[in-house]
Amino acid sequence: MQQVLKSYLKKLTNLTGQNKSLLMLRLTASDLDLHDLDFVYQKPSFDILSQLIAGKTEINLCEIADSRNVKINEVSSRLKKIQRQDALVFEERGAKDLYIGYPFVKGKLLDGTLIRCPLLFFPVNIYHNGFTWKLEFRKDQNISFNKSLLLAYIHFNKITLSDELIEEDFDDFSKDPLAFRTALYELLKESPVSLNFNQDLMADKLTSFKEYTREDFEENHFNGELKLFPEAVLGMFPQAGSYLVPDYECIIERDEFKDVSSFFDTRTNAAEETPVSNGFKIKEEQTFTPFPLDGSQENAIKAVKSGRSVVVQGPREQANLNLYVISSVTL
């Protein structure tokens, strides 16, 4: 059951250029180039990443306001927008999509699909104490690969990656920034993922996030070439194009069902075979339908015939089932 759910969860991932976790040519109002915080606290911007890798729970970003420093005020305004967007997404979808993405991958897959996105996601929250904006590592998640990137790599480059690589949580990686990057390099070198590590990535520094037009990006990158750059962005990076993702993740985490049938049985309690009003139990030969049904559709019909109220919602191929249920209730 777990493998089935994980397989469907992967299918919910958006692999088009509309997915910000695959193609990010420019910053939006809910993004912040981490290099904009360079020496705001008399420390280079890379120090924020160093503290995240080291597992520090509270990291200072900048003051809320400073009448002597326009840069701090601009960054503070951007952080406020990001915080609002994070709260809105959580309220509407129940998803926490705020991450620091680092390092950035630039290039094209073998089929020409444009790629400009983070390789890793560091799950974070931002908040302030009335004076200072702070960053904290979210305790409910680990550092992870950008799964949208890896799934796109699998799909468009026609290769296979192990679930162990895709689900890597980096728990056993060193807390030292250089050792962490070295271990990352060794992990990818032993995998089918071909990414060009350059010397800049091993230096303890970040570079500014460079923005592109689509035309410029197309002209300056070639099919099959993917390179890593020491850029980092704090922002909203949704991992899938469906509101169902949090539900799937919750079901996987709870691990309550041994197979698909037992899951759907709990949705309608069809396994109990509740009697209808005349005292007879619902049997398969009593469900007359013009088209073949799957298990969940059959359970819905049994529930209706046993006297329950059922809402059936699904794609167009379920229209006949909807009509049957409506007709049964009407009759």
* Domain extent for 280: 259-330
Is the domain of 240 the same as that of 264?
A: no
**Contact in structure between 85 and 30 (CB atoms under 8 Å):** yes
Is the domain of 91 the same as that of 205?
A: yes
Task: Name the pLDDT band for 219 (thresholds 50, 70, 90).
Answer: very high
Is the domain of 217 the same as that of 273?
A: no
Is the domain of 150 the same as that of 273?
A: no
Structural domain ending residue among the three candidates 188, 223, 246: 246
Domain assignment present for residue 253? The answer is no
Is the domain of 242 the same as that of 268?
A: no
Domain assignment present for residue 93? The answer is yes
Is the domain of 120 the same as that of 50?
A: yes
Domain assignment present for residue 251? The answer is no
Domain assignment present for residue 231? The answer is yes
Taking Cα atoms as reference points, which of 123, 124, 126 lies closest to residue 145?
A: 123
- Weakest mean pLDDT among 167-176, 263-272, 289-298: 263-272
Residue 319 pLDDT greater than 60, yes or no: no
pLDDT of residue 171: 92
Q: How many domains does the chain have?
A: 2
Structural domain ending residue among the three candidates 246, 267, 292: 246
Work out the angle at residue 36's Cα, subtended by the Cα atoms of residues 30 and 41, and round it to the nearest 5 degrees.
120
Is the model more confident about 312 or about 109? 109
Is the domain of 229 the same as that of 277?
A: no
- Weakest mean pLDDT among 3-17, 39-53, 75-89, 233-247: 3-17
Structural domain ending residue among the three candidates 216, 246, 276: 246
Segment 197-209 shows an average pLDDT of: 92
Burial tier of 107 (Cβ tally within 10 Å: 0-12, 13-18, 19+): buried
- pLDDT (tens digit, 9 = 90+) per residue, 145-172? 999 999 899 989 999 999 899 999 999 9
Domain assignment present for residue 323? The answer is yes
Is the domain of 285 the same as that of 223?
A: no
Task: Measure Cα distances from 5 to 15, 95, 213, 219, 243 in Å.
Answer: 19, 18, 38, 40, 15
Domain assignment present for residue 51? The answer is yes
Helix ranges, 116-229 (H) = 147-157, 163-166, 177-189, 199-202, 214-220
Name the token pair of 314.
Answer: 């699904």
Domain assignment present for residue 185? The answer is yes
pLDDT of residue 2: 66
Is the domain of 272 the same as that of 215?
A: no
Residue 328 pLDDT greater than 50, yes or no: no
Rounded Cα distance between 172 and 91, Å, is 33
Instruction: Name residues whose C-beta falls within 8 Å of residue 157's C-beta, 6 or more positions apart in sequence.
Output: 109, 110, 111
Is the domain of 271 the same as that of 170?
A: no
What is the separation of C-alpha 171 from the centre of its chain, rounded to a whole number of angstroms? 19
Most confident range (mean pLDDT) of 4-8, 151-155, 206-210, 272-276 is 206-210
Is the domain of 14 the same as that of 45?
A: yes
Strand partners, 127: 134
pLDDT of residue 49: 95
Domain assignment present for residue 254? The answer is no
Rounded Cα distance between 260 and 4, Å, is 8
Is the domain of 242 the same as that of 264?
A: no
